[in-house]
């Protein structure tokens, strides 16, 4: 699996955990983590295309 694919899996897992959390702070952190993983995936794809 590519780096971008792995990062997207991490993002999806963060989203899954966020939807099952009842704690508002935990949910917010998980959603932020998911967004960061998504951004890393985009950067990894860009880097892979340029190399």
Please give the model's pTM, rounded to 2 decimal places: 0.90
Confidence check: pLDDT of 51 > 90: no
So where are the chain's domains?
Answer: 3-50
* pLDDT above 70 coverage of the chain, percent: 100
Whole-angstrom distance, CA of residue 25 vs CA of residue 4: 27
Q: What is the DSSP string of the chain?
A: --HHHHHHHHHHHHHHHHHH---HHHHHHHHHHHHHHHHHHHHHHHHHHH-
**pLDDT mean over 35-40:** 98
Given its phi and psi angles, is residue 46 left (phi above 0), alpha (psi -120 to 50 degrees) or beta?
alpha
Q: What is the largest CA-CA distance in the chain?
A: 43
């Amino acid at each position: 699996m590519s780096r971008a694919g792995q990062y997207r899996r991490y993002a999806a897992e963060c989203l899954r955990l966020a939807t099952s959390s009842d704690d508002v702070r935990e949910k917010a952190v998980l959603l932020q983590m998911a967004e960061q993983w998504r951004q890393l995936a985009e950067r990894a794809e860009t880097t892979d295309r340029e190399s």
